[in-house]
Each structure stands twice: as C-alpha cells, then as structure tokens.
Amino acid sequence: MSERAAILVTRKLPEAVEARLKRDYRVHLNPEDVLYPARKLLALSRNADAILACHTEHFDAEVIAQLPERVRAIANFSVGVDHVDLEAARARGLIVTNTPDVLADATAEVAILLMLGAARRASEGERLVRSGEWNSWSPAFMVGTQMTGKRLGILGMGRVGQVTARRARGFDMRIHYHNRQRLPAELEAGATFHESVEDLLPHCDFLAVHCPSTPETQDLINAKRLALLPDGAILVNVARGNVVDEHALITALASGRLRAAGLDVYKNEPDILPALRAVTNTFLLPHIGSATRETRDAMGFRALDNLDAIFSGAEPGDRVA
C-alpha cells in the first residue's frame, strides 16, 4: 500500500474508524462534523489523494471537474451513490466505491420500526403521553392497524428488501415484491413476484420502499401510483426521499386514502416540507436507517478496505465507477 496517502474525511466518523485512518494514512478529519459547501470541499481536497465522503456531499459533474488531479478516489461511507455523478467520475478516471451489505440488517430493522410506528400510531401516542393530554382509556381510543397477517409489498428486493421480508415473515406477513429482475427461488422464499410496480401496488396493505435513487426512480411513487394502493394502506420509505412524490403523499395522507406513512428519508433533507411535518398520521425519523454502532463501524471499515485496495494497487471490492 502506498505509504501514508492523504485522505480527506468529510464528516465525523466512529472512533474506531478514525483510529484506523490515523494509523494508516495522513488524514484530515472533521471533528466538528460541519457540512462542507462545495467551495470548502474543493479547497480541502487540494492536499488529498482520496476523499472519504458521505451522502451529504454532492459530487456533481461541475465539482468532479474541479477536483485536483491528485485525487484518485471517492470512497463513500454509504451504499447509495446518487450524490455522485458516476458518468463524470468515469470520464475523469476517478474511482468511486460504496459500502454494500453491512447496513442491511440495521436498515431493515428501521423499516419494521416504521411499519409498526405508523400502523400503531406511535407518534400520536407519544405526544399524548409527553404533553400530559392522555387522561382516559376506552375501546375506541388510539385504534391502529395490525401488521400480523397482512400483505407487505416490497419495492426493490435487494439486500435490505430481502432482510425486511425475512423480518416481516415473523409477523406472518405475506410478501409481494417488484424488482428489476426476479429473484432465484431460494431467495424469493415464497414471495410473489410482480412484473411491474403497477401490478404490485394493489396487493399491498403495507408498501416498503427499498429501491435505489436513480433518474428512473425519482417520484416513482406518485399520485397515480398511490391511487393503486388499497384504501387504508401504509407506506414506509427507508431508501431515498426523492423516490416518493411528497406532495402526492401529503394529499393521500390528509384525505385518509393512505392510513399512515413511516418515513426515514426525505427530499431536501433535513429541510422537510412543513406540510409533511403537520400531517399527524405519520411516523417520522431523521434518516437513522444505518445508525447503530455495529453498522457504522462496519461501514467505515468497508470504506477503508476499499481505500487500502486502491493504494496497494488492487481492485477495490465495492467499486461502482
């Protein structure tokens, strides 16, 4: 491995990850965890051989064109790479990697949490308890929706979708899914495959969005497709915010057409639409799908494994560009 390559780290990382970075590289850390604007990011990259970035930094074609020639790679601390213009990176000869596999369990846990929280009106209930407004009980009080035995539609049956399906089977849920390609029978595990999103949606008492953000999936779940869900369906999203048309979602929630939604990701986060915050039949989390100690350490080590490969002259295992 090239001796003491210089790495620009854009956000504060777990202690164990930063310790390994400092051991093996010359490293510029971000202990205050500030979000670097593009101009600052470019200035700091002048002394870097690679950038260890998160999804909070945006490497569009303009930014990539201005990166110093010495920058060989962007090693992402994320599985999603929609924040990087991969075509521009390839054209420049810039290596781009991500961190797949290691966050599937944690993110699937949050998908189940969102389903339960939305279905059982957890946010409404907690507000009542914390505000002191809870003062009685009756058979009609805080009645929600039961998950057990319901149909779960999974949009995007990749690593996280498959783990979500396995966890949901613990609730005796019947799994339906749409994916770019049908899974082999052993991975499908009895789930019902649908050739199109439109074919899937009428079979979803719950819909879990797990597909990646691409130009083709932006606003994939729009007003027309939301109307295909059964009345009273519940939607959860742990993928990327721009897969769901939030204005259409708000309309469906406010009308009662959708019973509830559980969201961990949003368009333009953390600047969430005020109307979305105002809708009460939601369970909202601040993008914490991978936020466990175990997973964040594993993501960091995976990113470092990719950097180690790059600077030793080997092919990184998680190269996407």
179-204 residue pLDDT tens: 999 999 999 999 999 999 999 999 99
Are 81 and 164 part of one and the same domain?
Answer: no
> Which residues pair with residue 236 across a beta bridge?
208, 262
| Catalytic residue of the set 18, 124, 188, 269 | 269
Distance CA 102, CA 300 (A): 10
Instruction: Compute how many other C-beta atoms are within 10 angstroms of the C-beta atom of residue 215.
Output: 6
Residue 3: its pLDDT value, please? 73
**Measured distance between the N- and C-terminal CA atoms of the chain, rounded to whole angstroms:** 21
263-309 residue pLDDT tens: 999 999 999 999 999 999 999 999 999 999 999 999 999 999 999 99
Are 124 and 239 part of one and the same domain?
Answer: yes
Share of the chain above pLDDT 90, in %: 99
Question: Average pLDDT of 12-21?
Answer: 98
Which runs of consecutive H residues, i.e. helices, occur in 138-242? 159-169, 185-188, 197-200, 223-226
- The answer to whether 319 and 96 are in contact (CB under 8 A) is yes
Q: Which amino acid is at 10?
A: T
Q: Judge whether residue 14 has pLDDT over 60.
A: yes
- The answer to whether 230 and 257 are in contact (CB under 8 A) is no
**320 belongs to a structural domain:** no
Q: Judge whether residue 2 has pLDDT over 90.
A: no
Are 220 and 278 part of one and the same domain?
Answer: yes
3-state secondary structure of 233: strand
Are 163 and 238 part of one and the same domain?
Answer: yes
**Structural domain boundaries enclosing 301:** 6-102+293-311
**321 belongs to a structural domain:** no
Query: How many domains in the chain?
Result: 2
Q: Which amino acid is at 194?
A: H
Are 31 and 45 part of one and the same domain?
Answer: yes
**1 belongs to a structural domain:** no
Are 270 and 302 part of one and the same domain?
Answer: no
> Which residues pair with residue 176 across a beta bridge?
153, 192
Q: Judge whether residue 1 has pLDDT over 70.
A: no
Distance CA 212, CA 55 (A): 13
Residue 109: its pLDDT value, please? 98
Sign of CA dihedral 231, 159, 179, 224: positive
| Catalytic residue of the set 72, 176, 225, 240 | 240
287 belongs to the catalytic site: yes
167-183 residue pLDDT tens: 999 999 999 999 999 99
- Residue 173's CATH number: 3.40.50.720
240 belongs to the catalytic site: yes
**318 belongs to a structural domain:** no
**118 belongs to a structural domain:** yes
The DSSP line for 271-318 is S--HHHHH-SSEEE--S-TT-SHHHHHHHHHHHHHHHHHHHTTSPPTT
**319 belongs to a structural domain:** no
Token pair in block for residue 53: 């970035």
Are 202 and 173 part of one and the same domain?
Answer: yes
**110 belongs to a structural domain:** yes
Distance CA 146, CA 181 (A): 31
| Catalytic residue of the set 20, 203, 287, 296 | 287
Are 73 and 132 part of one and the same domain?
Answer: no
Question: Average pLDDT of 39-59?
Answer: 97
The pLDDT mean for the chain works out to 97
Are 255 and 239 part of one and the same domain?
Answer: yes
Instruction: Compute how many other C-beta atoms are within 10 angstroms of the C-beta atom of residue 133.
Output: 8
**317 belongs to a structural domain:** no
Are 262 and 226 part of one and the same domain?
Answer: yes
Question: Average pLDDT of 26-51?
Answer: 97
Distance CA 43, CA 49 (A): 13
- The answer to whether 201 and 225 are in contact (CB under 8 A) is yes
202-257 residue pLDDT tens: 999 999 999 999 999 999 999 999 999 999 999 999 999 999 999 999 999 999 99
Are 273 and 251 part of one and the same domain?
Answer: yes
Are 132 and 220 part of one and the same domain?
Answer: yes
- The answer to whether 118 and 211 are in contact (CB under 8 A) is no
